[in-house]
Amino acid sequence: MKQINRSPSYLVRNAHSYCFRLAIPKDLQTLVGKRELRYSLGTGYIGQAKNKSRYIASQVQLPAIIKIIIQICRRLRICQ
């Protein structure tokens, strides 16, 4: 059976609702100071949670990556 590739939803189920979770790569964890980003989605409905998590992912990933790059540059004294 062929597996269907799906876009990631970044969902984690809590007791009564869903959370957005984005893992930070191991090599960047010491620079960022966290292993993951986690936010409550404020809903227990899977459809709403998927929509919210995909929206958050689109908003979080680019600024997070830029912030990480800036932190690395500052630690390496490449930029100020």
Query: Per-residue pLDDT tens for 42-63?
Result: 999 999 998 998 888 877 776 6
Strand partners, 18: 13
Question: How many angstroms from the chain centroid is the CA of residue 45?
Answer: 20
17-to-29, 41, 44 alpha-carbon distances in Å: 27, 7, 4
For β-strands 11-13 and 36-40, DSSP reports them as: unpaired
pLDDT at 10 over 60: yes
Q: What's the pLDDT score for residue 45?
A: 92
Closest CA to 55 of 5, 9, 6: 9
Are the CB atoms for 33 and 77 separated by under 8 Å? no
Q: How far is the C-alpha of 41 from the C-alpha of 45, rounded, in Å?
A: 10
Q: Supply the pTM of this predicted model.
A: 0.61
Q: What's the pLDDT score for residue 79?
A: 63
Chain position carrying tokens 């869903």: 18
